[in-house]
Chains A and B, each alone.
Chain A
Amino acid sequence: GQNIDQPTEMTATEGAIVQINCTYQTSGFNGLFWYQQHAGEAPTFLSYNVLDGLEEKGRFSSFLSRSKGYSYLLLKELQMKDSASYLCAVEGNTPLVFGKGTRLSVIA
Chain B
Amino acid sequence: DSGVTQTPKHLITATGQRVTLRCSPRSGDLSVYWYQQSLDQGLQFLIQYYNGEERAKGNILERFSAQQFPDLHSELNLSSLELGDSALYFCASSHNVLHQGVAQYFGPGTRLTVL
B-binding residues in A (CB < 8 A): 30-31, 33, 40-45, 48, 50, 87, 89, 91-101
A42 nearest CB across to chain B (Å): 4
A-binding residues in B (CB < 8 A): 2, 4, 33, 41-45, 48, 56, 58, 88, 90, 99-101, 103-109, 111
Are A48 and B48 touching (Cβ within 8 A)? no
Are A30 and B56 touching (Cβ within 8 A)? no
CA distance A7 to B110 in the complex (A): 27
Are B42 and A45 touching (Cβ within 8 A)? no
Are B43 and A91 touching (Cβ within 8 A)? no
Residue of A with least CB distance to B100: A30
B6 nearest CB across to chain A (Å): 9
CA distance A31 to B41 in the complex (A): 22
| A interface secondary structure, majority | loop
20 additional A-B pairs beyond A30-B99, A94-B56, A95-B58, beta carbons within 8 Å, are A31-B101, A40-B88, A40-B111, A42-B4, A42-B107, A42-B108, A43-B106, A44-B106, A45-B103, A87-B43, A91-B101, A92-B99, A95-B33, A95-B45, A95-B56, A95-B99, A95-B104, A96-B104, A98-B44, A99-B42
CA distance A83 to B84 in the complex (A): 28
Contacts A30-B99, A95-B48, A95-B99 given: A45-B108 contact, CB under 8 Å? no
Chain B residues whose CB sits within 8 angstroms of the CB of A30 once the complex forms: 99-101
Are B99 and A94 touching (Cβ within 8 A)? yes
Interface centre among B42, B100, B105, B107 (most CB of A within 10 A): B42
Contacts A94-B56, A95-B48 given: A48-B101 contact, CB under 8 Å? yes
Q: Could you name 16 residue pairs across A and B whose Cβ atoms are closer than 8 Å? A: A40-B88, A43-B43, A43-B90, A45-B104, A45-B105, A48-B101, A94-B45, A94-B58, A94-B99, A95-B58, A95-B104, A96-B45, A96-B104, A98-B45, A99-B42, A100-B42
Are A44 and B45 touching (Cβ within 8 A)? no
